[in-house]
Chains A and B, each alone.
Chain A
């Protein structure tokens, strides 16, 4: 039994109305994302709305499940923080944060020196991918050290 019990289902089910509300909220949020995208992009409004709403539907439903359903169906693990996996994750995320700060500083200096013009989406995407990959690698290293 691993510390995944911290996110294990308790066997309880939420009332049907909560699932309906979750679906309505999730779809509503996705449609709102689509509407905002269509509003800001101007051209191809209906197509942009459809594509962005469809792309956002999964994350929005997940978010609404997290907020509305999970508190009724998931039992928190009282001992989650006593597991070594939590220590691995804490060390990995704090190390990745430090690495990302350093990488951002170096990248900023490089951009300033070379005069390169990076788009915001590329820069933010790079930071996000770096943090996720760095955290994953550091977690695996922590795990390997303990085994």
Chain B
């Protein structure tokens, strides 16, 4: 049998294994992989995420078990030291030799360390592997300031990590601007302004001559004789291909490094291939992962005899988020390669810069760059790569069409060959065909059958738009039905449940659904049932998400957290003491939440009823932190104490929180009340926010924090309390009845035709004539409120459900804790 040996288990080496195994099973080709690093290949592109949680598993591309399942021999922590081309063997650093029929070199590159005296001092690091990051984290803990040498893409990413570590951060760049290879002067300046707002100090035109310090560095010295004192330094000055094996084996090497390959990825020895960052193709080293994946595909195919596909070079187009700032650069970004006209858009106030280069004849897009807003990137890239005709006013490409056309129109005109997912080389035609033939019935199924979007995921918005487009082509109304078990939207189901007075999930499934349900429709229906009838969720516990099933929030490790209600954030010292005593007794980690209450973490399942028994005895109630329901109504201290306060915001907040407690909704709900326009309760970031005015109260709605924060909008002005509550009743009920599952109020409003004006018409002007009905429905729902935990505590049958094992009293031995700042936290996963 043929034996293929792969040297290097990085991103590209891994992708190669995956591709080759798809083309050749273990009876045809044996595969052995050597990786120098101590763990299987991981996602270097998202390396910086390691800073936030130090979780290497999350970056792993495939666990060791995958290689086992695929029949691939993986040797991690083992370096290949020598290639013997004559005998076709490789030798590891442990002296083991192994023969090969064909060899694939995927050794990547290493960080380039410029020849400056002092780079060997303590406190000097590079940024490439998990081990590098571990060293940086360990060292940085005791330091105050850090510099990054190199203001390119990687350097800025490293700088962000330094900022996140709480260090005073400097970026030192030799050129006269940041990201000199991707951005022009104006683009770089725009980026620099945004970055400096984060507190990063940028030093341009700096030629670093020495790193000073006695043993460990203490400053950088520049050619202009200036100094920058810092505690640590991360060097990010470019990459060097790891071509040392190729050199010693006398393969052709480029003048500035890299193993020379042809279009089939073969080196000067046809039995040896090179792919990824070590390969030099037509004088170019590709420091990006997408071209590397392309190379892996070409090499794998070539190795099984398919010589159709060649590597014809890739462009270096990239889009990334640097410190929260979108940056993209594509094609001929500077227009350096041919005659062109540039169209430029700059908004200094917002920190946005866009530039596109149009061919001299005005027919084609050559390239461009985007800073601060890169939403147009995918479409621009497609337009360029496919040589698509430009709109009559090419500036529309970056300004957005001002005629209200949707982006779908642009997609429609893309040719079928347009590559949508560059990681997996999936074209528009492949995606549309999967939908049109019925092979893919959902975006998820497109992912599964074409693999689009499974790499970096950047193409997912386009994949989803294409799905809708193809659906529409088949004459299907794009209707968000719940899942395969219910061919209805959430709103349709709500109507059915209400009109037919359905009270249980099983009844609904029997009469209106198919199959056995799933984790999507069960909680969605549970939420509708709760919104309409407000019966205890414990009556149908197995259709609830685990949080609702056990009335607590599941946390890492499988323990739960407990949040008693503290309306308006007001609490007596006695109650505070009880919380403290309970936390101490059950050894719970405590933290004040963002919603002005206290969260107790780390309770075992079986402890929950006991904990609640004690809390309830002291007068507490469930805080519903586990439900898609009203969470808290935050308040500022208001006129009772505050010298600016206009009205009593605390009393109003308590009143409102007590009114809506236990109300179930498509997603969680948060409120707030501020005592004056200074807005200390941050009411304008809540689903409903109330702010005192000298004439009454202003009511704001549909503000959300979360992934995409959005400010609330004014719904009614200077109203009295009763009116305010009437409007909230109507608003919440209208939202509950019309929103899709798991949609918060802000995105719901964004999709509502007519927006806030229409909402005001419905709620305030009652244009649909349903105002009173909404109020009554709210009344009915609120009237049946009971504290779920009180119910459980007093019911032995319900209490008995709170155990980890059904056949043993033991607690779950898998739950383990570490310690942090004097309290327990779950062991890392």
Asked if A pairs with B, the answer is: no
Hey, which bits of chain A sit against chain B, CB under 8 A? none
Hey, which bits of chain B sit against chain A, CB under 8 A? none
